[in-house]
Amino acid sequence: MGYLDEVGSPTDLKRLSQDQVQDLAQEIRDYLVKSVSLTGGHLGPNLGVVELTLAMHRVFHSPKDSFIFDTGHQSYVHKLVTGRRDFSNLRKQDGLSGYPSRAESDHDVVENSHASTALSWADGIARANVVRGIDDRHVVAVIGDGALTGGMAWEALNNIAESDDRRLVIIVNDNGRSYSPTIGGLARHLDTLRTTRQYEGMLSWGKRNLPRLGIPGQMLYDGLHGMKKGVKNIIRPQGWFEDLGIKYLGPIDGHDLGDLEHAFRRAQAFGGPVLVHVITEKGRGYRPAEQDLADRFHAVGQIHPETGLPVAPARFGWTKVFADEIVKIGRSRSDVVALTAAMLQPVGLLPFSREFPQRTFDVGIAEQHAATAAAGMAFAGLHPVVALYATFLNRAFDQVLMDVALHRAGVTFVLDRAGITGDDGASHNGMWDLALMRIVPGIQVAAPRDEETLRSSLREAVTVDDGPTVVRYPKGAMGDPLPAVEVRHGIDVLARFGVDDQLSDGGQPRVVMVAVGAMAPLVIEAAQKVAVAGYQVEVLAPTWVIPVSNGLLECVRGSDLVVTVEDGVVRGGVGALIAETVRDHGVGVPVHSMGISSTFLDHAARAAILDDHGLTEQGIADATLAVLARDRDSAVGD
């Protein structure tokens, strides 16, 4: 029996000696590699914070002290220490969330896994403690150097420094990376702190060992001392933070339990805002992760634990098609530039950055800045392509509205992982984009259904120079090609069932089913089932879904029912827009919209979430037949 079997709560952890905790740290790393390799999850970040998390729980007192993990994907060790030991269904329905979850434990505070928010949460909780006269607890916020590139973090720091009566401890987990290497002035500053710390270690060694070496040793010592002095003349290690009024401790070795506990106790005793700068190594203790330079182990699927190689090779996916097409566009269009927010590799911009390094801009975790900077680039004669996860465009809505659309800037937003992503839970589902974007004046949104429509819509999007365009597509593998059987009024017709080559005016009512993007395969299957029940059915798949085109109105005119299917929120989504447009133009056709309810979704596989919302071939068919039956009964009643 190892120490991990003895730790069911932070209290159990406090009973162990420091040597025992060090052994526990290795057990936890072994457990994480073994369990996450079976389920998939965020492996690298958690391996890097083992000692840090253990030291936090040994010094502070969760849940009395509030622990807040920025982004939260590094909370696996915290889950183990607080009694959550079953990782067998991690990130699966009814299993543990991959992020903090209030439903799981009182030790979890913030569930939102969007970055750069922890310090604002911490400031709010600490302020409330002061207002309520509570002075026997701390707020401890863990934020990575990558998350510190986000503007919210600096807004919070500015406010945290406003007064010194809040018991608030900020732990900067500095590993030089977010998903990718941290960029910008902050990264250079933290690198200076790390370098200064290395010089101090070398000087300490020199003081002990160089005098006996004679003049050459003394010259080396003098040289190192001069280099250190030069660095300190550029920037004092604590400068940025203490000048704000926040006490700075560090840099601290994030894998030395003794140093960590000592620093945390000093911070605990200070009585005001303290920033503890901790240097860690992402993927610590797992050789494949330590040797990987592309952050492949930040988040993994199922892998072979011995090698780190995937159990099943990744299938050709949407992101890869975008990566290929944007490079082709870049070769023919020198004005096309690419921006992303700390997601260069995940969104598929790495090949573009290698071929066009001077035309690629990673702005850090700063989606708002990316959108407005893109507007500036468009004004100056470029066509920016801003590639983000769909869920993160939520953070830049005001900039899309007021900086890009208001100024009719030719900016293309490419939204990866749109719709339901599933495993990472509520804050990572990209299900809000269509409802948000449809209210932006002048915007055009494409929802491609396959490889060819993704390539064509991207090529078309970058030709638009008088307003924003959006191209959105889902996570994962790409399905088979879905060619149109006909293009009518500019709209792709994918299938017809229950009719001959020409639509008949007689017989059963004609049903038009409109598939939005990647929902097309399901809609085709559902349409066949509706046709078997005796109805004439046609499946349309407009690539450009916002605004609703006149061509789509002509295609649905004269039908008895229009059914729209999308993988975004149904309230205010594309289906609702089609219904409003049909009504406003006097087309006179009832529209039934299907999509995701306006609720936060628990983590589960995409297929399970679709099933819960009736977005399966059978569910879509049943809903369509139910509407037809209701309309028929209503007509008979009249």
294 carries a ligand binding annotation:
no
Q: Which of 92, 166, 167, 282 is catalytic?
A: 282
507-545: buried (b, 16+ CB within 10 Å) or exposed (e) per residue?
A: ebebbbbbbbbbbbbbbbbbbbbbbeeebbbbbbbbbbb
CA distance 600 to 226: 57
User: Which sign, positive or negative, has the C-alpha torsion 328, 329, 330, 332?
Assistant: positive
Give one DSSP letter per residue of 315-327, joined into a string: PPBHHHHHHHHHH
Give one DSSP letter per residue of 185-247, joined into a string: HHHHHHHHHHHHHHHHHHHHHHHHHSGGG-HHHHHHHHHHHHHHHHHHHH--TTHHHHHHT-E
Assign 275 to helix, strand or coil. Answer: strand
43: number of CA atoms within 13 Å, CB side?
31
Total residues found in the chain within this entry = 638
Q: Which of 92, 247, 296, 395 is catalytic?
A: 395
Work out whether strand 591-596 and strand 139-144 pair parallel, antiparallel, or are unpaired: unpaired
Query: Which segments of 380-532 does DSSP mark as H helices, in order?
Result: 390-393, 397-399, 433-437, 451-461, 520-532
CA distance 585 to 583: 5
CA distance 87 to 347: 28
**Cβ atoms 158, 145 nearer than 8 A:** no
334 carries a ligand binding annotation:
no
Beta bridge partners of 546: 445
230 carries a ligand binding annotation:
no
CB atoms within 10 A of CB 550: 13
592 carries a ligand binding annotation:
no
Q: In which residue are the tokens 């030709």 written?
A: 463
371 carries a ligand binding annotation:
no
Q: Which of 325, 367, 538, 566 is catalytic?
A: 367
Amino acid at 253: D
Q: In which residue are the tokens 């930040």 written?
A: 298
73 carries a ligand binding annotation:
yes
Beta bridge partners of 511: 537, 561
**Cβ atoms 275, 246 nearer than 8 A:** yes
Tell me if residue 395 is catalytic.
Answer: yes
189 carries a ligand binding annotation:
no
Query: Which segments of 471-616 does DSSP mark as H helices, in order?
Result: 520-532, 550-556, 574-584, 606-612
- φ, ψ of residue 256 to 5 degrees: the values are -110, 105
CA distance 79 to 101: 10
575 carries a ligand binding annotation:
no
304 carries a ligand binding annotation:
no
CA distance 431 to 418: 6
CA distance 619 to 627: 12
* Structure tokens that stand for 481 in this block: 């090609």
286 carries a ligand binding annotation:
yes
CA distance 307 to 570: 43
Annotated binding site for thiamine diphosphate: 73, 113-115, 146-147, 175, 286, 367
Q: Which residues are annotated as a binding site?
A: 73, 113-115, 145-147, 175, 286, 367
Residues that constitute the known binding site for Mg(2+): 145, 175
Q: Which residues are catalytic?
A: 282, 367, 395
